Amino acid sequence: MLFKVAERYKRQKVYMVLDNVRFHHAKGLKPILERYSHRIELVFLPPYSPDLNPIERVWWLMRKKVTHNRWVKTMEERVDEF
């Protein structure tokens, strides 16, 4: 993805906001980030801050819809509700 962003925004500075999932800190990213460090800057959200990461609200609502106050006979019914 970094390659695509770098190619797409060749003349602009890009700030990518990321959560702290482990693979966002992978060793394999270092050479890529060094290559594009003048154009791409990674900004990490603070740990345990779902309020700053909007997708966390979506996951919470989906989980609540599927798991709270619902009785189903089979797992297939559960999957169909989702």
Domain ranges within the chain, ordered by starting residue: 1-47, 49-82
Compute the distance between CA of residue 25 and CA of residue 18 in angstroms, rounded to an integer.
10
Task: Report the sign of the C-alpha dihedral through residues 70, 76, 80, 82, in that order.
Answer: positive
What pLDDT was estimated at residue 11? 87
What pLDDT was estimated at residue 82? 66
**Percent of residues, the chain, with pLDDT higher than 70:** 96
Q: Residue 19 CB: number of other CB atoms within 10 A?
A: 15
Q: What is the tens place of the pLDDT at every residue in 12-29?
A: 899 988 887 777 777 877
Chain-centre distance for alpha carbon 56: 9
> Is pLDDT of 66 > 80?
no
> Is pLDDT of 67 > 70?
yes
**Percent of residues, the chain, with pLDDT higher than 90:** 4
Residue 75 tokens read as 């797992």
Residue 17 contacts residue 43 (beta carbons within 8 Å) = yes
